[in-house]
Amino acid sequence: MTATTTIETGRAIATLINVFTVLPERQAELVAVLSRATEETMKDRPGFLSANIHASADGERVVNYAQWEGEEHFLAMLADPSAQEHMTEAAALAEGFDPRLYAVESVHHI
């Protein structure tokens, strides 16, 4: 069975949406850093559920959509030195970033 990201209302999870602004020539490198960070560190942290890395068609944004079992798990990850190394590397590639935790309020399907 393949695990997938489930987006639904009423789940008591913390959803991180981090929007990175990046120069188009650095977008692929930032995507690679975030993907490597997820594989090497984030996915093994307690409370990690999923991460999805999105690259904008214009090359100027990268979005990390990640789910954690709760805010406390997300905050514990932020304090982890190995996670901090990856976050510092990603931040150095970006022109800016805006990480925020969200709750799913509405989902619509065809």
Strand, coil or helix: 2: coil
Q: Is 85 left (phi over 0), alpha (psi -120 to 50) or beta?
A: alpha
- pLDDT tens for 87-105 read 999 999 999 999 999 999 9
Q: Residue 96 has what DSSP assignment?
A: E
Q: For the chain, what is the largest distance between any 2 Cα atoms, rounded to a whole number of angstroms? A: 43
For the chain, list the domains and their CATH numbers.
26-98 (3.30.70.100)
What is the band of 4 on the pLDDT scale with cuts at 50, 70, 90?
confident
pLDDT at 1: 44
Bridge-based pairing of strands 14-21 and 96-102 is: antiparallel
Q: How far is CA 31 from the centre of its chain?
A: 11
